[in-house]
Structure 1
Amino acid sequence: MEIITIESKAFKEIIDQIGILSNYIQSTQANKERNEDNEWVDNYEVCTFLKISERTLQRLRTNGEISFSRIRGRNYYKLSEIRRMLDDKLIRSKKEYLDDLINHHSQTRKQKGKKEK
């Protein structure tokens, strides 16, 4: 094993740079989560990945417990609303299912973007 010696000033600069990188990574992650919350998903994605029935989703809409938009006869939900439903325990599902939904939606969106180019 080799021992490397550096001046304390250089060591402090390295620590400062690591701190800056850490802050950048944390802020990037926070921005990513905020951007994800503004994404829209449809009935199929919500039901499939959260493992709930269409009837459950319909009941939530009818009771006004979830906000949604209807475009050309299809219902869309913001991911922030789905996250809120899980946090408020309006549906019995797991956070891992929400992560799967977000990952699947992101991959699908990327693939559609590649096809359009």
Structure 2
Amino acid sequence: MNVITFESEAYQALVDKIDSLSQLIDIHQQKVNPDEAWVNSDDVCTYLGISQRTLQRLRTNGEITYSLLAGKAYYTISEVKRLLENRIVRSTAQSVDELCDQYKKRINSFQGKGK
């Protein structure tokens, strides 16, 4: 094991920089509009009460926009809301509210881990 020593002033400067970065991240995350948040297929299926196959069919037919990242599909919450508004998927607005709440909880849990 290697031991690294710091002068207390250098250590305090490093801690101050980390704290300021943490504050910037917190401020940025508070400004994020939940409608612009990205959620995965599992979340969409769970909260809309549809199957993975139904979601795949929506993608194939071009009825929902999505992005692929490492082979996994992600959707914006605003796109999920559009599905409901246009009656492409039968579900309730409460389902989308629950999806937004779940997203906020996930973001808050990440914030808690970083502190």
Higher relative contact order (CA 8 A, sep 6+): 2
Would you say same fold, with TM above 0.5? yes
Task: State the TM-score, normalized to the length of structure 1.
Answer: 0.69
Higher Cα Rg, which structure: 1
- The one-letter code matched in structure 1 to 2:50 is I
Deviation at 1:104, TM superposition (A): 0.8
CA distance in 2, matches of 1:40, 1:89: 21
C-alpha distance in structure 1 between counterparts of 2:47 and 2:110, whole Å: 20
**Partner Cα distance (1:116, 1:73) in 2:** 27
Q: Give the Cα separation in 1 of the matches to 2:87 and 2:70.
A: 30
- CA-CA distance at 1:105 after TM superposition: 1.0
Q: Percent identity?
A: 42
- Once superposed, which parts of structure 1, at least 4 consecutive aligned residues long, lie more than 4 Å away? none
- Out of 97, 101, 105, the position equivalent to 1:107 is 105
Aligned length: 85
Are 2:52 and 1:54 equivalent residues in the alignment? yes
> For 1:35, which of 33, 36, 44 is the aligned residue?
33
Correspondence for 1:44:
42
SS at match of 1:75: strand
Instruction: Tell me by how many angstroms 1:116 deviates.
Output: 2.5
